[in-house]
Amino acid sequence: MVPGVFRAGVIGVADIFQEVDEDLRRDRATALWRRYGVYVIGVAVVLVLATAAWSGWQYYRTNQRLAAGDRFTQAMLQANQGQVDEATTGFAAVASDGPAGYAVMARMQGAVLKVRAGDQAGAAAIYEGVAADADAPEIYRRAALLLSVMLQVDTGDPATLSTRLDPLAADDSPWRFSARELQAVLALRAGDQARARALLEPLSADATAPQSLRNRAGEMLRALGGGA
């Protein structure tokens, strides 16, 4: 064989192995997200649940004679007791004709029940509706947007979802750490390992970020062949 041709062949094989290695690293990092992602979603849902429960209870104590307060509380109790059908009906009724504050909380709780039942598409649709509702409180709209993207991270268009997260990833956003982590995962889905690293490296080193998130970022970086 002619030496130049041989060298070209070797280089070509090396390129192939490099591409395969990069694909494997990306797959390992994505697998880490899938391994922990359910817990991320679970934590976020619990936060929404806790916020809604606290707000609902405060409002209920102040306005305990209101029928909407009674119905929302009853639906919450049914959900906690595993009476899913009854709770779903109760939340739907409050969302339909309850006061504005209760209505949005009931919608969010309806989405939580769908997540528990494995209907992520249905839950995402509810969160999308809340996120787009100009009459909903800003905290619920932002939380709903984050939760919606979380539920679509494996199925939605990575570029579109990442762009939607930009406002939540801003430096002054309380959601910035989760939003940037999601953007890193979406970058991996799109095959952009450089952007994923650029997002994960500061997350793993940010002392103000939650420790669990920093740990996940570090593990994904190591899976990509970088990080501590």
What is the amino acid identity at position 164? Answer: R
Q: What is the DSSP letter of 172?
A: T
How many angstroms separate the CA atoms of 125 and 75, rounded?
Answer: 21
The Cα angle at residue 38 between residues 126 and 115, in degrees rounded to 5: 30
Say how many residues make up the chain.
228
Separation in Å, CA 36 to CA 17, 22, 32, 212: 29, 21, 6, 10
Placement of tokens 């007791």 in the chain: 81
Return the pLDDT at 8. Answer: 44
Three-state SS at 224: coil
Residue 127: count other Cβ atoms within 10 Å of its Cβ: 28
Q: Can you tell me the distance from the alpha carbon of 153 to that of 158, in angstroms, rounded to the nearest whole number?
A: 7
- 10 Å CB burial of residue 75 (0-12, 13-18, 19+) is buried
| Tokens standing for residue 201 | 């490296």
Q: What is the pLDDT along the chain (228 residues), one digit of tens a residue?
A: 544 443 444 444 444 434 444 555 666 667 666 665 555 555 555 555 555 555 555 555 555 446 777 888 888 888 888 898 999 999 999 888 887 778 888 999 999 899 888 899 999 999 999 999 998 888 889 989 999 999 999 899 999 999 999 999 999 998 999 999 999 999 999 999 999 999 999 999 999 998 989 999 999 999 988 655
Which pair of structure tokens corresponds to residue 219? Answer: 């593990």
Q: Report residue 212 CA to chain centroid gap.
A: 15
DSSP for 38-75, please give it.
HHHHHHHHHHHHHHHHHHHHHHHHHTTT-HHHHHHHHH
Tokens 């679970």: give the residue.
42
Residue 127 CB contacts under 8 Å (≥ 6 apart), including other chains: 108, 111, 144, 145, 147, 148, 151
> Can you give the residue ranges of every domain in the chain?
33-155, 158-228
Asked whether the beta carbons of 30 and 24 are under 8 A apart, the reply is no
pLDDT of residue 17: 39
